[in-house]
Structure 1
């Protein structure tokens, strides 16, 4: 039996308790529109979420891709014609949309309990839900390196900033988010103190000074596929990368490895636009895909992290392999020891200001 099959077997009773209420329910709509990022991620969602939901409820999921942001939701609401039912987004946009009244509030207590009866309010990881959004998966920003192109393997975030003992270029996403957090942690700031430090002028100066120490060696990237391309070509000795993409490449035989020290992680979140045309079905969908078994299956397929404590032990083996996926996910306990969860409230308040400074810093010699 493969990992996904084992996952489902382990929680058969939990699934019955959590989702059987959906069976036989009368739904007015035969179809809902669920919007996500597309590509292999949406393909995994179809397997873990969409198809089981349709099988359970009889409601078909019409999948649509988008590039993120709130522009389309605003446009639909301003036109008085909302056509999207459920949308996956990041916590940053969910908080903004909630503040603007663009999306519905989703009571966390309305979601199903864990298999052992733990209520959802206590089962979700801190910071993975909000007043208007329910976490779906977590994404980790980690250090990646090519074992065939580096003489000495890095083991810590400090090594990323140490070009004397670990020579070579460094890949970084062209954004102040993660770059500044990493700079402070590499400079000795504890993860718990990063945002308090970054909130002060002195702390922000400190972060940029630390980035200055490797600025001439940085190769900036913007698309998620680029870090692994940089490793393959040898253009960088190490790079920031998304842990899920890195893991899938490893399963395909790449010689890349991850360093989890100082990982910075965030959450993808489900939201329901205000005035969604099929509200009952949309809420049923969010409840269904928030079950621990569903979350574990998506993690098994992608190695993105789960947002509920009870889902972690249900993660199986990567399809077609004997590799247990759980230890390769951002929210695995060992990977959280020195991790930092992105503070979206901080970036909501300060992003424009800090982005402006970051852009000016990029232009300086």
Structure 2
């Protein structure tokens, strides 16, 4: 006789009840976290997901998204929740908080702004790691000559020939163009607020437009560089460090690094709120928060975790002072206010 899985489950419940012990449906002891995929998600899995599950018995199922806030909004509006928590950038947290898409966290549980690095606290999100967006290059392409060292070199096709990989998104494109055009890092967003500033951005990109290879997923730049399809590319710094550890001859240009935080945010009304908050509390324990830097080049945002970092883990962090030449912090307010206009402007420019 064949015993169905359903029958077996019922039998197990009955045995448990007869024995006078509580029944746990372990399949429900889980949360789903959507992240960017690739090396960054692998780092979170090792630093947080697996230890959290071992500590609490709550499994973490990880999924991938590409930063489309409309996906979260749809889940909230339809009350059809796919994700318990989502990893996002500062601008996404700002936007989701302003439009009511994200759950607000209880400060008595997560703490207040003074516990975090500047800008690392929001009512609707917890910043837990620092990351950078950088220019990177294939060192094999420039073995016998000068090496790229500045943002201006990214736009210099004569001195540094070869295709350029660029994320198909206005974030970091805007800043790079102005830095290369001589605007000081401290003045980037002041200039971007003007029509003349925006014109300067696209005029600068016009100079290399026919040499651009567009990318959308964070795993693409290291592969494009390693395969020789591009000579330089914008990239998330941690992806390049991971590729270096895998033996790829890639290098980071720290000039003009864009600094940001990775956040955990929760779709408003999530039925997994209680379990998800256990995860949030776990990653906010200083000894847990510090683990990320030993796994990948991400720095903790929680101040109490910073003294726990090992010296060897600090070298490749974007917050290391020696890596901060001409760096800037992305302005979440600027992008929250101008995202729609910038998206349209970029789309129109691409079609020309």
TM-score (norm. length: structure 2): 0.82
- Computing the radius of gyration from Cα coordinates, the structure with the larger value is 2
Comparing 47-56 with 294-303, greater Cα deviation is found at: 47-56
The one-character-per-residue Cα deviations of 1:193-223 (angstroms, maximum 9, x if unpaired) are 1111101001111122222222233232222
> Of 160, 171, 175, which residue of structure 1 is paired with 2:165?
171
- Inter-CA distance 230–55: structure 2 relative to 1 (3 Å threshold): closer
State the alpha-carbon separation in 2 of the partners of residues 75 and 351 from structure 1.
19
Say whether the 8 Å CA contact 2:218–2:236 is kept in structure 1.
yes
Number of residue pairs matched by the alignment: 323
Aligned twin of 2:342: 354
Structure 2, unaligned runs of 5 or more: 1-25
CA distance in 2, matches of 1:355, 1:278: 33
Moved more, 148-157 or 98-107: 98-107
1:67-94 alpha-carbon deviations (Å, 9 max, x no partner): 1434454344334455643332232332
Aligned pair partner of 1:137 in 123, 129, 140: 129
CA distance in 2, matches of 1:190, 1:312: 29
**8 Å CA contact 1:33, 1:63 repeated in 2:** yes
Q: Give 1:316 deviation, angstroms.
A: 4.2
**Contact preservation (8 Å) 2:53, 2:60:** no
Paired residues of 1:32 and 1:85 also in contact (CA < 8 A): no
- Give the Cα separation in 2 of the matches to 1:235 and 1:76: 38
User: Matched residue of 2:343: which SS?
Assistant: helix
Determine whether 1:221 maps to 2:207. Answer: no
Separation in 2, partners of 1:53, 1:132: 22
Aligned to 1:345: 333
Give the secondary structure class of the aligned counterpart of 1:327. coil
In the TM superposition, residue 141 of structure 1 has moved relative to its aligned partner by 1.2
**Equivalence map 1:106-121=2 (5 Å):** 106-108=105-107, 110-111=109-110, 121=113
Change (3 A) 1:42 1:178: closer
| Residues 287, 325 of structure 1: alpha-carbon distance in 2 compared, 3 angstrom cutoff | same
> Which stretch has the larger CA shift, 210-219 or 350-359?
210-219
Segment of structure 1 superposing worse, 254-263 or 31-40: 31-40
- Structure 1 runs not aligned, ≥5 long: 1-28, 113-119, 318-323
Q: 1:286 to 1:143 in 2, by over 3 A?
A: same
Summarize deviations over 1:280-312 as a string: whole Å, max 9, x none.
443332122023332321232121333234434
Question: Aligned partners of 1:81, 1:173: CA distance in 2, in Å?
Answer: 31
Match of 2:102 in 1: 103
1:39 Cα deviation from its structure 2 partner: 4.4
Matching residue of 1:35: 33
Do the aligned partners of residues 76 and 313 (structure 1) sit closer, same or farther apart at CA in structure 2, a change above 3 Å counting? same
